[in-house]
């Protein structure tokens, strides 16, 4: 039996490899042409120490000097000894360049474009025959603007369904990708892509979830919710989706469908514009109810502009709440995403 192992590198590149029964992660990586750090290959030096974020495994044999008991209890592993028993996500303490593991590339063809509002566009691409793509919900890809060569980073806004995946992007007047999508895009256009990238992805769900989305920062949560819908959600999950003006509020029907089909999931929307007729005005921080903070026993995921990340941090600090985990991705229109 083969397991799929996501190797997540320090620079945000993620590569997926197949690991056979009884095979160590280091051997599987090496067989795939990825030189993860190792030295003794015997569980003695600790050079290959990594962190397993998801999945089950046999940790193998090693000495305390290479991996202390408390480290092993936290999830640290030695990839020269670790034999997966399921699909796993392993964080490698090195960059992709150090490991000769460049981001994957693939070409896809535009399959749909929809102007959802004056400020938001949803589009989908279909992988070309034979192209391979795996990603963790929440991650992003770099897409080259057809005809221009410039690259934009966009979060996957769905799971891969029959070779097709969606993106949700802000329509920026004059923006390279926005102009292409609004004016010149034709179904069938080839789009060069690379990825997946980013450390903003859904971790194993062990606590209640709080999702905070700003504008088209909703995109990664749509992919996460699809995964939760597929795999089940055993904890409460709440999304606060904030936008600047009424016209920015899109895909609410999609969220309502998730809420109807996914027990435990709820959401609210809010609009910052004081002139809005929306029933909830203000920023996401104005609509964080104490019951959704679970006194800090909550895994918080945030995707939005830098100011929103700072505002949420300050709000939680002022409320005396320290989330058990706080994952965020900052984005600015037309810029590369930054995750933590």
End-to-end distance of the chain based on CA atoms, in angstroms? Answer: 33
Q: Is 51 in the site for ligand FES (CB under 6 A)?
A: no
Query: 3-state SS string over 254-297?
Result: HHHHHHHHCCCEEEEEEECCCCCCCCCECCHHHHCCHHHCHHHC
CA distance 70 to 88: 20
Q: Is 17 in the site for ligand FES (CB under 6 A)?
A: no
Q: Is 43 in the site for ligand FES (CB under 6 A)?
A: yes
Q: Is 98 in the site for ligand FES (CB under 6 A)?
A: no
Question: Min. distance of Cβ 38 from ligand FES in angstroms?
Answer: 4
Closest CA to 92 of 170, 16, 149: 16
Residue 41 or 203: the one with the smaller Cβ distance to ligand FES is: 41
Question: Min. distance of Cβ 61 from ligand FES in angstroms?
Answer: 10
Selected from 9, 38, 265, 267, the binder of ligand FES by CB under 6 A is: 38
> Which of these segments, 40-48, 108-116, 259-267, 285-293, binds ligand FES (CB under 6 A)?
40-48
CA distance 91 to 6: 8
Give the CA angle between residues 326, 90, 4 to the nearest 5°: 120
What is the total count of residues that contact ligand FES (CB under 6 A)? 13
> Which of these segments, 37-45, 252-260, 294-302, 307-315, binds ligand FES (CB under 6 A)?
37-45
Residue 92 or 339: the one with the smaller Cβ distance to ligand FES is: 92
Residue 33 burial (CB < 10 Å; 0-12/13-18/19+)? exposed
Q: Is 94 in the site for ligand FES (CB under 6 A)?
A: no
Give the CA angle between residues 199, 205, 209 to the nearest 5°: 85
Residue 74 or 314: the one with the smaller Cβ distance to ligand FES is: 74
Selected from 80, 108, 177, 223, the binder of ligand FES by CB under 6 A is: 80
> Which of these segments, 32-40, 86-94, 183-191, 267-275, binds ligand FES (CB under 6 A)?
32-40
> Which of these segments, 14-22, 28-36, 41-49, 110-118, binds ligand FES (CB under 6 A)?
41-49
Beta bridge partners of 302: 212, 328
Q: Is 41 in the site for ligand FES (CB under 6 A)?
A: yes
CA distance 166 to 154: 10
CA–CA distance from 337 to each of 88, 192, 220 (Å)? 24, 18, 12
Footprint (CB under 6 A) of ligand FES, residues 117-156 = none
> Which of these segments, 36-44, 118-126, 158-166, 242-250, binds ligand FES (CB under 6 A)?
36-44
Torsion sign, CA atoms 25, 31, 37, 38: positive
Residue 226 burial (CB < 10 Å; 0-12/13-18/19+)? buried
Q: Is 66 in the site for ligand FES (CB under 6 A)?
A: yes
For the record, the structure tokens of 112 come out as 């749909």
Question: Min. distance of Cβ 69 from ligand FES in angstroms?
Answer: 15
**Footprint of ligand FES on this chain (CB under 6 A)?**
38-41, 43-48, 66, 78, 80
């Amino acid at each position: 039996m083969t397991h799929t192992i996501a190797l997540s590198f320090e620079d945000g590149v993620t590569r997926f490899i197949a690991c056979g029964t009884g095979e160590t992660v280091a051997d599987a990586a090496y067989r795939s042409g990825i030189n993860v750090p190792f030295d003794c290959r015997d569980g003695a030096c600790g050079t290959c120490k990594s962190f397993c974020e998801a999945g089950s495994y046999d940790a193998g044999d090693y000495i305390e000097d290479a991996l202390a008991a408390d480290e092993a209890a936290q999830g640290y592993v030695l990839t020269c000894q670790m034999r997966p028993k399921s699909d796993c996500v392993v964080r490698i303490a090195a960059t992709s360049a150090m490991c000769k593991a460049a981001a994957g590339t693939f070409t896809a063809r535009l399959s749909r474009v929809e102007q959802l509002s004056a400020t938001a566009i949803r589009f989908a691409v279909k992988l070309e025959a034979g192209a391979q793509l795996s990603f963790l919900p929440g991650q992003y890809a770099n897409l080259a603007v057809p005809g221009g060569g410039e690259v934009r980073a966009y979060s996957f806004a769905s799971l891969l369904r029959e070779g097709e995946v969606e993106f949700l992007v802000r329509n920026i007047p004059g923006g390279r990708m926005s102009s292409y999508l609004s004016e010149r895009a034709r179904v069938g256009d080839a789009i060069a892509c690379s990825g997946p990238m980013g450390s903003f992805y859904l971790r194993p769900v062990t606590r209640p979830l709080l999702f905070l989305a700003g504008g088209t920062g909703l995109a990664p949560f749509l992919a996460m919710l699809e995964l939760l819908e597929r795999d089940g959600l055993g904890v409460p999950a709440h999304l606060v989706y904030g936008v600047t003006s009424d016209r920015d509020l899109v895909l609410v029907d999609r969220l309502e469908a998730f809420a109807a089909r996914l027990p435990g999931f709820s959401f609210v929307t809010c609009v910052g514009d004081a002139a809005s007729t929306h029933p909830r005005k203000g920023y996401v921080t104005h609509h964080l109810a104490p019951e959704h903070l679970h006194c800090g026993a909550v895994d918080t995921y945030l995707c939005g502009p830098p100011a929103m990340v700072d505002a949420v941090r300050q709000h939680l600090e002022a409320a005396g709440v320290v989330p058990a985990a706080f994952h965020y991705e900052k984005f600015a229109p037309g810029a590369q995403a930054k995750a933590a």
